[in-house]
């Protein structure tokens, strides 16, 4: 029943997934085969192929030497560029996948040098994204466990949504951030991750203002 409901709900963003769709996306059968090996629903592939025309690959969990971490299932990864024109489609897809136990997130940030990469992970726990990518601040002696503990602490004070993560960076959405808490939160961010303020906005006050304006925060440890 859950598989049927998933297929029905995805229909709002899927089109061309019949024979004509297979002609449009010749990689579809290979995608299904990949999904089968990962125990991913075919409807997830259909949803992605409504938007993604390039190759969809398998992304394995980052497991740095010496890390003692829970093993997670592999993810699907693909090149994509979110723009003003397709931003609403991306958010719709992300929301629907989330409702059915899959999280869509940015997995590689190109910083303007090319297309970013995005991944779909079979989980309903957003903190699994950070564990899956083993996000850490090695240059500051900050482990993945430390990042996860700090995020859990922040989440209790300032709810957020994890929208991207890599080995040394992560991105969160702060839809509930307000003027009352912004500066105090920016100071906590700076204490744990100095680069956004020192290399980015130059001051903690500017970081608070930027977070209020964009409702986003990019953390990185160079």
- Burial level of 73, CB count in 10 A (0-12/13-18/19+)? middle
Q: What's the rounded Cα separation, in Å, for the pair 159 and 154?
A: 7
Range of the domain at 17: 2-129
pLDDT tens, position by position, for the chain (222 residues)? Answer: 555 445 545 544 444 444 444 455 567 899 999 999 999 999 999 999 988 889 999 999 998 666 666 789 999 999 998 888 888 889 999 998 998 899 999 999 887 777 899 999 999 999 999 999 999 999 899 999 999 999 999 999 999 999 999 999 999 999 999 999 999 999 999 999 999 999 989 999 999 999 999 999 999 998
Q: Residue 120: in which H helix or E strand, if any?
A: strand 116-121
Does the residue 15 lie in any domain? yes
pTM: 0.86
Residues pairing with 217 in the sheet: 172
Number of domains in the chain: 1
Q: Is residue 9 part of a domain?
A: yes
CA distances from 65 to 62, 108, 137, 148 (A): 10, 21, 15, 18
Instruction: Answer yes or no: is 192 within a domain.
Output: no
Q: How many CB atoms lie within 10 A of CB 38?
A: 14
Residue by residue, DSSP assigns 70-100 as: -----EEEEEE---TTTHHHHHHHHHHHHHT
């Amino acid at each position: 029943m859950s598989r049927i409901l998933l297929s029905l709900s995805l229909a709002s963003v899927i089109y061309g997934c019949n024979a004509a769709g297979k002609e449009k996306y010749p990689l579809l059968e290979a995608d299904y085969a990949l999904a089968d090996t990962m125990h991913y629903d075919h409807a997830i592939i259909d949803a992605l192929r409504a938007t993604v025309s390039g190759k969809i690959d398998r992304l394995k969990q980052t497991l740095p030497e010496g890390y003692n971490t829970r093993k997670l299932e592999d993810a699907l990864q693909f090149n994509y560029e979110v723009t003003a024109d397709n931003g609403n489609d991306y958010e719709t897809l992300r929301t629907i996948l989330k409702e059915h136990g899959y999280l869509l997130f940015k997995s590689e940030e190109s910083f303007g040098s090319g297309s970013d990469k995005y991944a779909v992970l079979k989980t309903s726990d957003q903190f699994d994204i950070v564990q899956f990518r083993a996000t850490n601040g090695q240059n500051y002696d900050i482990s993945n466990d430390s990042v996860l503990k700090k995020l859990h602490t922040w989440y209790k004070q300032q709810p957020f949504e994890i929208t991207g993560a890599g080995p040394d960076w992560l991105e969160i959405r702060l839809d509930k951030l307000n003027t009352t808490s912004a500066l105090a939160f920016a100071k906590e961010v700076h204490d744990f991750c100095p680069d956004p303020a020192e290399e980015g906005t130059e001051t903690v006050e500017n970081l608070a203002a930027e977070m209020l304006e964009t409702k986003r925060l990019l953390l990185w440890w160079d």
